Structure formats: structure tokens, C-alpha cells
């Protein structure tokens, strides 16, 4: 059991060891069912007998006479009294399965464990794949081998935690305030985070974490588990009466949603499992490297994007939008996106949704003149859709009122004046696919912003729960659209960040991180969304001077620095911008294009900063040859001199040139700033990590950006 430079899976003495650099999971099958003996740092050659012996615990009086480890399945039949991995029944019978090992197969970096319970008439296959980046992917498939229907209530993936994991971290939120961190003691009992919106949801935890009391973003151990699924999910943490703790995740199933007929199989969503000995940033780096290694991950430089929603809303006018496109191109925009309001009777959000034909009222000459001008200016053209939804006031609904998700005999309550199309209905699916494809192919659309503006309630198909089928359908729809239109890119939006998850990351090219364009609010949203999703997939835009969501006024510096750390763009009516603001935007756009290679491939660093009034974060190139860091003054500092901020992650003995960057007028509250702000400074990576930089005294809600570049080896300090 030794660390390797690439992932590997070995089987020895009824143990399967799944290893990658910095992580090892030991799956013991000697007792006839899967028990995780170790999940953490590599054990450096410890043999199976030693691992089993080290894992043996004392037996208290209150325990079973012959206690056994519950294993991954946590079965009541083995004496476990916590939440089992499989919950289900066969008309009340078969409620307590007892699986036994039938076989194990190791193939490259994948181990497949086959289990069965002849009495419950069930077979279970567990597939474990260790990626080179140290992300363990777990898939389970349950097959009904009996002669009657078996109802699946839950099939979750559980992994045990060591005793030193005493805290949990998950994320909650709402529209405009997604993915806010909640760090709590790992208390006795069960903590459940359920998502029941039919989509991931603004309140969803993107990953469920456990950690030691000393773990920070930069250091310490962290364990994480996440469902690769965009429908209903459940993430779990449990400490049982014995004191054992575990993390779990799976799909949240409605009653009767999965009813297995004889020989039918339910396959769970993939569960991603991550361990880091380098803090939460180490966990994030594993997720990022894994997603970036996929062949379908976006490779081309992420184009600077302008979306027109907050510029014009539903007020579509060819002259205005043409002038906006010309101004966007002048500041360096590379992709121009026309948002809601171009189709059917859609002059506001009460009608027309579902009628995917260009509106003759809003666009009497069609979209062609705008598309031609946009592409003539050297920009890509993007278009907004919300293909899963329909307004009751639409031609589509009047023709097919039966095409919605619903419970027979009633219509679900409206949300934003809309209902949800049933994509499990083959006719509805084909209609949406053909209409969207027709627009994309005929109008020369390079990019889709795909929205999802309401939760799913009463989500039924032919009288049965249908969130699972609806989620599988949207994955298939995205894949079909891209197959029919090579090069097409798709952004996943759901009232902003309502469908941001690792499952959708496998089918979309970009997320609209949040409808919140206030840069102060965006700091935490982007900081924690990027724990799982790499920056190049997270849309981050420069909003207007006065935020449309919060009413706050922010400098161009604060807005630009915040938007830089992602797939950058603009959400602002540039026709209202001043000459000074346009010049600042041009400077920012030039820097983004020069630095996006680092921003979109480097290591994200969330610096542990002692001053709670400020946030510090950055991205360091993989070879540590360059970096960008932001110091953000969120509120007034408790001291008259703000604390120095460190720049970790650079090569200790290399020398670096550090220079500040301002877009527009510096937002300093007092002008006697530190001397390095004038002409920069040259220092070693060790000095920058240990001593850091003294920030200028900024006004609240202001930021400074520093660009770090390695100097030639012979450069003297």
C-alpha cells in the first residue's frame, strides 16, 4: 500500500486498495461484505493483517455479544442501528437485507464488487474508480432478481470517518446568496441536507465535508462526498451511539419513484469521494484537476462575455442592441448574449415561454441583422432559452396542456407564471429538442444560456414521481444539442446558482454562478462555489455601478477585481458608462485575456487571513511561475493598520516581481500607502508566503489586485 504517481487499484489477501498520490482507501472483503478500513493518507505498505488489527476496537458491555463492523452497507442484519445504505421493501417484506460477497473484479483503476442476498432476492454491484487526481467515484447498481416488485426508498454511498474528524462543513443559501459556509461540530446523531426542488437548488450543499478542528483552507485534513446529480439529493453525516462517524450521499427518491420489476436495475448517481491532507484547497484542487482532465472539458480560452439582461431586460430594440454590441466589442468583449424576450409573445415573464420562434413584434426583421453585426465585430453570438418550462399563456400550452409535470386531476401552483414541461414524455422532449436545434442551427448560435426559473412541485409523469426521469432527460437533451451542433457551448443557469453541481458539470460548459452581481456579495459565493467547480466554468460579470440586486454602489475596481476570478464577463448597459469607465474596462479586458491561462488552469488559494474584515484569495500557476491575488476589504478593519496578507503557494527560493493593478481611481481611504504600492517589489516566494504584503488602507468594499511574476534566476533582491 504505497503512494504512486498515478491512480492504481490492487487486490491482495481479500483487500482492495485504491490509491492515488496523497490518498488511499482500503476496502476489506475478508468478512464477506465491504468494510472500509482506512480512508486518508497512504499507509506506505502496511499489509492487510496489520490494517485489520489496527482497526479492531474494544467491546463494551452494551454492545452485541459478537459485534461486527457495519461496513459500507450498514445493515440492520449485522447489528447496525444507524441509517442503512439501502432502504426498501417488497410489499413490506425484504426490508432488512443481508448481502454477501459473490465476487470482485479489478480492472485498471476500477474495482467492481458483486454482492447478493438470495433471501431478499437482490443483487448489488458496487463499482469503485480511483482517478489519477485522487477523486474516488462510486457507482451502485441494485437488481431485483425476485418475482415481485421491490420498492427502493434509498440507496446511498457511505464512508466512515476517523475519530479525529470532529467538525462538518456544508453550504446553504438562497437566491442571490448561494453556497454560504456552515461549519459545525460533528455531533451525535444524524445531520441530513436534503434537496427537494427537483433541481440542485440555491440551498444545496455542493459538497458535504468533514474535518479536524485545526483544518483550514490551507492546511489540515478534510474528507468530502458529493452526489453527481442535478435532481433531488441527500447528503448525510452521522455519529452513531458507538461513536463511529460517517459521510453519506445519494439520490433523494420520492415514495414509489423507483419500483423495480423482476430483473430491473436501479443505478445510483455517481458519488465523488475526496480526501485532502492539504486543507480545503487541497480538496478543491482534486476536484478541479479531475474535471479539467476530462476530454469534454472546455479547452479554448474562455471568451470575455457580455450578457444583455441587466442592460435592457425585455426591452429588445435592434438599434439599441447593435450600439451595445459595438461598444462591447470596443472594450474587448468576445461573446455577446441576447437574453430573455426574443421569442413568441414574450414581452414580460407572463407569456410566451415555450414558443421558440423569433418574435415578429420584437424582431420584425428577425435576429439576422443583430447576429450579422455581432459576428462582423468578431464576437460569438449567444441566446437565452428556458426549454424545460412553459407559460400557461403560450401556444405550446394551449396545444398540449398534458405535457407538464403534474399529478393527475390537478395543475401544480405557478411559479414565475410558469409550469414545468415533462421531458420524460417523448413527444415533449422531441418538441423541445427540435425547436431549440432549429433556432441554434438557423441563427448561427454559438452559445446557449439555459435557464431554469422555478422549483419542481407535484412533479409527476403518468401518476408517478418523475424528478429522476426529468434529470436524466435534461442531461440527454444537452448532450443531444451539442452532438447536433458541434462546438455549441451551454451555460447552466437556474435563477442564477440554483443548478450548480458536479453532475451538471459533466454536461454543461459554464455555470451562471449567481444572479447576484453585487461584488461584495459575490466574494463568498465565488469563494465557496469554486471549492468544487473550477474558475473557468463559473460565470463572473462586472455589473453596473449601482447593483440591481442590492442597491449598493461599487467602484469599477471592486467590480472588476471580483469578476476577474472566473469566466469573466459584463452585465451592464455600456451605453451608460463614462469614458473613464470604458477605459478601465478595456484595461481589465486586456489583463483578463493575458492572465486567463493562469486563472483557468492554476491552483486556487483561499488564504487564511487573520483579519475577519478582509478576504484574500488567488490563483497560482501550476509551475508557480506567476500568480494573481486579490485583497478585498469587506468592512472596516479592527485596527488602524490592516494586517499584512500572505501570498502562499509560490516557489520558496524563486524571486518574484509583485505589482499592484488598478482599474480606474484607486479606492484608498488614506494616501500614505505602503512603499511597494508605488513601483512594486521583488521578493522570494518564501518571503511573500511568510511576511506577505501590507495592504493600503482601503475604503470598505474595495479591493486591490496584485500580479506576481517570476524573475530570471540571476535577479538580485
Catalytic residue positions, numbered:
451, 515
Q: Which residues pair with 10 in a beta bridge?
A: 17
CA distance 195 to 213: 27
How many C-beta neighbours within 10 Å does residue 458 have?
16
Q: Is the dihedral of CA 381, 384, 388, 390 positive or negative?
A: negative
CA distance 398 to 555: 48
Contact by Cβ (8 Å): 123, 143: yes
Packing angle between helix 318-331 and helix 368-376, nearest 10 degrees?
Answer: 10
Helices within 43-192 (DSSP H only): 48-55
CA atoms within 13 A on the CB side of 675: 2
Which has the closest alpha carbon to 616: 709, 706, 525, 685? 706
Which has the closest alpha carbon to 612: 630, 634, 641, 644? 634
Packing angle between helix 519-529 and helix 556-564, nearest 10 degrees?
Answer: 10
Contact by Cβ (8 Å): 51, 43: yes
* Angle CA 542–178–249, to nearest 5: 135
**What distances in angstroms separate CA 220 from CA 212, 215, 383, one per listed residue?**
7, 4, 44
DSSP category for residue 470: H
Q: Is 678 exposed, middle or buried (0-12, 13-18, 19+ CB in 10 A)?
A: exposed
Cα distance between the two ends of the chain: 45
- 3-class DSSP string for 241-304: CCCCEEEEEEECCCCCCEEECCCCEEECCCEEEEEECEHHHHHHHHHHHHHHHCCCCCCCCCCC
CA atoms within 13 A on the CB side of 108: 5
Which has the closest alpha carbon to 36: 247, 251, 277, 286? 247
Contact by Cβ (8 Å): 34, 72: yes
Amino acid at each position: 500500500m504505497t503512494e504512486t504517481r498515478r491512480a492504481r487499484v490492487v487486490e491482495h489477501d481479500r483487500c482492495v486498495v485504491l490509491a492515488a498520490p496523497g490518498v488511499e482507501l482500503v476496502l476489506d472483503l475478508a468478512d464477506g461484505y465491504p468494510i472500509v478500513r482506512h480512508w486518508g493518507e497512504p499507509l506506505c505498505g502496511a499489509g492487510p493483517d496489520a490494517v485489520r488489527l489496527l482497526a479492531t476496537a474494544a467491546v463494551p458491555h452494551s454492545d452485541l455479544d459478537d459485534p461486527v463492523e457495519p461496513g459500507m452497507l450498514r445493515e440492520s442484519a449485522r447489528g447496525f442501528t444507524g441509517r442503512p445504505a439501502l432502504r426498501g421493501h417488497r410489499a413490506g417484506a425484504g426490508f432488512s437485507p443481508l448481502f454477501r460477497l459473490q465476487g470482485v473484479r479489478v480492472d485498471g483503476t476500477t474495482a467492481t464488487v458483486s454482492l447478493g442476498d438470495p433471501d431478499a432476492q437482490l443483487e448489488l454491484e458496487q463499482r469503485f474508480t480511483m482517478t489519477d487526481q485522487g477523486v474516488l467515484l462510486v457507482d451502485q447498481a441494485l437488481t431485483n432478481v425476485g418475482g415481485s416488485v421491490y420498492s427502493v426508498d434509498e440507496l446511498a454511498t457511505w464512508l466512515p470517518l476517523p475519530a479525529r474528524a470532529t467538525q462538518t462543513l456544508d453550504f446553504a443559501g438562497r437566491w442571490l446568496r448561494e453556497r454560504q459556509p456552515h461549519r459545525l461540530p460533528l455531533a451525535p446523531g444524524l445531520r441530513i441536507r436534503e434537496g427537494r426542488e427537483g433541481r440542485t437548488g440555491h440551498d444545496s450543499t455542493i459538497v458535504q465535508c468533514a474535518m479536524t478542528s485545526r483544518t483550514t483552507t490551507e492546511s489540515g485534513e478534510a474528507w468530502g462526498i458529493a452526489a453527481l446529480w442535478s435532481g433531488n439529493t441527500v447528503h448525510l453525516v452521522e455519529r452513531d451511539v458507538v461513536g463511529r462517524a460517517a459521510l453519506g450521499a445519494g439520490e433523494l427518491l420520492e415514495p414509489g419513484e423507483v419500483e423495480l420489476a423482476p430483473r430491473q436495475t436501479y443505478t445510483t448517481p455517481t458519488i465523488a469521494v475526496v480526501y485532502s491532507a492539504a486543507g480545503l484547497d487541497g480538496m478543491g484542487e482534486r476536484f478541479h484537476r479531475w474535471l479539467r482532465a476530462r476530454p469534454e472539458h472546455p479547452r479554448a480560452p474562455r471568451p470575455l462575455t457580455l450578457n444583455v439582461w441587466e442592460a435592457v431586460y425585455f426591452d429588445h430594440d435592434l438599434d439599441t442592441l447593435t450600439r451595445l454590441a459595438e461598444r462591447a466589442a470596443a472594450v474587448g468583449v468576445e461573446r455577446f448574449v441576447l437574453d430573455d424576450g426574443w421569442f413568441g409573445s414574450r414581452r414580460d415573464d407572463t407569456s410566451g415561454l415555450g414558443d421558440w420562434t423569433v418574435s415578429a413584434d420584437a424582431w420584425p426583421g428577425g435576429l439576422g441583422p443583430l447576429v450579422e453585426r455581432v459576428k462582423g465585430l468578431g464576437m460569438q453570438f449567444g441566446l437565452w432559452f428556458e426549454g424545460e418550462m412553459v407559460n400557461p399563456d403560450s401556444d405550446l400550452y394551449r396545444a398540449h396542456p398534458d405535457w407538464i409535470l403534474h399529478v393527475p386531476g390537478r395543475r401544480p401552483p405557478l411559479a414565475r407564471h410558469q409550469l414545468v414541461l415533462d421531458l420524460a414524455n417523448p413527444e415533449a422532449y422531441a418538441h423541445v429538442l427540435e425547436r431549440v436545434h432549429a433556432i441554434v442551427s438557423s441563427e448561427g448560435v454559438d452559445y446557449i444560456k439555459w435557464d431554469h426559473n422555478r422549483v419542481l412541485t407535484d412533479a409527476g409523469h403518468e401518476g408517478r414521481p418523475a424528478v429522476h426521469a426529468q434529470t436524466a432527460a435534461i442531461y440527454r437533451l444537452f448532450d443531444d444539442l451539442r452532438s447536433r451542433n458541434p462546438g455549441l457551448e451551454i451555460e447552466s443557469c437556474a435563477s442564477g446558482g440554483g443548478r450548480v453541481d458536479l453532475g451538471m458539470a459533466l454536461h454543461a460548459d459554464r455555470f451562471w454562478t449567481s444572479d447576484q452581481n453585487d461584488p461584495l456579495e459575490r466574494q463568498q459565493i465565488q469563494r465557496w462555489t469554486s471549492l468544487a467547480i473550477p474558475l473557468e466554468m463559473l460565470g463572473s460579470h462586472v455589473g453596473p455601478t449601482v447593483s440591481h440586486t442590492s442597491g449598493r454602489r461599487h467602484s469599477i475596481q471592486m467590480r472588476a477585481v471580483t469578476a476577474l476570478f472566473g469566466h469573466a464577463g459584463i452585465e451592464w448597459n455600456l451605453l451608460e458608462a463614462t469614458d473613464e469607465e470604458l477605459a478601465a474596462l478595456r484595461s481589465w479586458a486586456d489583463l483578463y485575456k493575458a492572465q486567463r491561462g493562469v486563472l483557468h488552469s492554476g491552483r486556487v488559494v483561499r488564504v487564511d487571513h487573520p483579519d475577519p474584515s478582509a478576504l484574500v484569495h488567488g490563483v497560482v500557476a501550476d509551475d508557480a511561475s506567476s500568480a494573481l491575488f486579490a485583497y478585498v476589504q469587506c468592512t472596516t478593519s479592527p485596527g488602524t493598520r490592516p494586517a499584512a496578507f500572505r501570498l502562499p503557494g509560490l516557489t520558496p527560493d524563486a524571486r518574484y516581481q509583485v505589482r499592484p493593478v488598478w482599474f480606474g481611481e484607486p479606492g484608498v481611504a488614506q494616501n500614505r500607502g505602503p512603499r511597494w504600492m508605488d513601483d512594486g517589489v521583488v521578493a522570494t516566494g518564501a518571503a511573500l508566503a511568510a511576511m506577505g504584503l501590507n495592504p493600503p488602507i482601503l475604503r470598505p468594499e474595495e479591493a486591490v489586485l496584485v500580479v506576481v511574476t517570476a524573475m530570471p534566476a540571476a535577479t538580485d533582491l
